[in-house]
Amino acid sequence: MSQTNKAVSPRRIALAAVAAFLTALLLFVTAVVPAEYGIDPLGTGQLLGLLALAQVPAITTESSEYRLDAAELELAPSEWVEYTYRLEQGGSMLYSWQATGPLRYNFHSAPDGAPPGYAESFDAKESDHAHGSYMAPFIGVHGWYWENHSTDYVTITLSTAGFYSDAHEARDRVDGFHRLTDLRGNKIDHVR
């Protein structure tokens, strides 16, 4: 393989290697560490405005009202239930549910204006519990479908908190709205 100029002296090569190492070290300490980790040992991050790059937005503020919901749903063998909330785009909620037995479930969302039966699925498994947080990628109805494949009755205890309006329950034959509670625990009628 060809090399650069044969006239390059070993001294110059050594100098270049050391200079490269020191330059990298300097750039690392003055630019990369402040920008990537938010640590500013020499104050250069502040000076160059690089510290702002390391800040992760920890808070998303919401304009809609904060609501709480708790629901207990009983499923007979081979029965299913669908429980959904209305969320705006970017609306978030925390959820936790626990069942007395394993269920097949599917967390899905149907955007407003989508053809009937269309939904995007985000989490589908067989389990007796799930906890997490959800941020709606679009406006529409968002929630769970649970199916009891066992031969026993199973009770699901669901609790959520977030920025939804409306909770809706649908079963094989029955269909209805749940009353949500506000921040103070007062029942509020479903809002459209």
The answer to the question of residue 136 lying near another protein (CB under 8 A) is: no
Given CA atoms 125, 127, 132, 133 in this order, what sign does their dihedral have? positive
Q: Is 78 in the site for another protein (CB under 8 A)?
A: no
Tell me whether residue 81 or residue 119 sits nearer to another protein (CB atom): 119
Identify residues 19-48 at the interface with another protein (CB under 8 A).
Answer: 19-21, 23-25, 27-28, 31-33, 35-37
**Nearer Cβ to another protein, position 1 or 58?**
1
Q: Is 9 in the site for another protein (CB under 8 A)?
A: yes
The strand ranges marked E within 88-190 are: 92-111, 120-135, 140-147, 154-162, 164-171, 175-178, 180-182, 187-188
With tokens 């009353």, the residue in question is 179
Q: Using the rule CB under 8 A, is 55 a contact of another protein?
A: no
Q: Find where tokens 């009202």 sit.
A: 65
By three-state DSSP, how is residue 140 classified? strand
Give me the least distance between CB of 141 and another protein, in Å please: 21
Beta bridge pairs of residue 87: 140, 164
Using CB under 8 A, list all residues that contact another protein.
1-6, 8-10, 12-14, 16-17, 19-21, 23-25, 27-28, 31-33, 35-37
